[in-house]
Amino acid sequence: MSQITSSTSEKIILGIDPGTRFLGYGLIKITKEKVTILQYGVLNLTKYTTQGAKFLKIHERVLGILEEFLPDEIAIESPFFGKNVQSMLKLGRVQGMIMSLAFSKSIPISEYEPKKIKQSVTGNGNSSKEQVAKMVEVIGNIKLDAKLFDATDALGIAICHHFHNNNITSTIKGTKKGWGAFVNENPSRVK
């Protein structure tokens, strides 16, 4: 695949749904306000019997994605409480590894809670995985593999990040201008 480089008018966001059994990833390209899905997939880690082997595979795949697509930003789902302690510990290790890879490449990384992701993508923080997948299809104008919920969740994470960083006080570069600038630039929208 050819490498895609970003400019000031476009950016690439990598979304990751971390896991120690299945890790979902999704890459989107933002051009102006258009969302294009570049690639998505699920890393199946169930065949690896040790945590070390799983971590090595995650490291290799995520590093490969970073080097191939050169994302401008990374968004990752933060853990939600309610899982058992061992699961939280393992998930935290995966997140730490991904954060370390991002930092080593000087790529900004953001975390989003599951409810915030669902709210951003579907308008409902209690949406099902199926509803998130359907809205990702609508936003990306693409038919996705319905069985890859970890991947569609990862795309949802990337889209959430895009929406979060491109609210009414942001520019395409993601720099915050503030309410004063918004009011000055849009006097007809303020009463």
Is 137 among the catalytic positions?
no
Alpha-carbon span 132 to 157, nearest angstrom: 10
Of 128, 24, 18, nearest in space to 77 by CA: 18
Amino acid identity of residue 165, one-letter, is N
Catalytic option among 10, 17, 68, 137: 17
User: Which one is catalytic: 10, 67, 73, 77?
Assistant: 77
The structure tokens listed for 49 are: 């019997």
- Decide if 72 is catalytic: no
- What is the C-alpha to C-alpha distance for residues 108 and 91, in angstroms, rounded to an integer? 20
- Which one is catalytic: 130, 150, 153, 185? 150
Among residues 73, 74, 72, which one has the least CA distance to residue 7? 72
17 is catalytic: yes
Residue 36 CA to residue 30 CA, distance in Å, equals 6
CB atoms within 10 A of CB 19: 20
Tell me the catalytic residues.
Answer: 17, 77, 150
